[in-house]
Amino acid sequence: MSVLGDVFESLKGMSLLQLLLAFVACTAYALAQGALVGRRGRRAAWAMALTAAAGFALESTEWMYAAMLCAFAIVGLGVFVGAVWLLSRSLGLVPRAPATIVDEVQPANDAATQPQRSDLVHSV
């Protein structure tokens, strides 16, 4: 059997704890990548994803197969996000960035803004 076949075969023997850790790792990874939570929440999600993935690998009988499954999950989520982005882009559902207004600033050495010498001289 190939290595990939061994990885898929290891899915059949997963315990409930392994499935829970895999679910937590995938969910926390999605939260860490998205903009659903703030910066502090993303850091906590990253920590939770790494902890759950490490727990999943340690709980597995073959840690190398568990690491490969984690890598497949990350790639799978990336492919899913890319496909959704391409679909929404092709349908025109991506909001455009708001236009910015740029004020024209005249340089300080412009002759029109400098006071004329005749304005400075007072007649006596």
**Boundaries of every domain in the chain:** 12-91
| Most confident option among 21-30, 32-41, 113-122 | 21-30
Report which of 30, 6, 22, 15 is spatially closest to residue 54, judged by C-alpha positions. 22
pLDDT of residue 94: 72
pLDDT in tens, 65-108: 888 889 999 999 989 988 988 999 999 887 766 667 666 665 56
The pTM is what? 0.63
The two structure tokens encoding residue 22: 């895999």
The two structure tokens encoding residue 103: 């004020």
For the chain, what is the mean pLDDT?
A: 82
Secondary element (H or E) of residue 50: helix 39-59
pLDDT of residue 112: 58
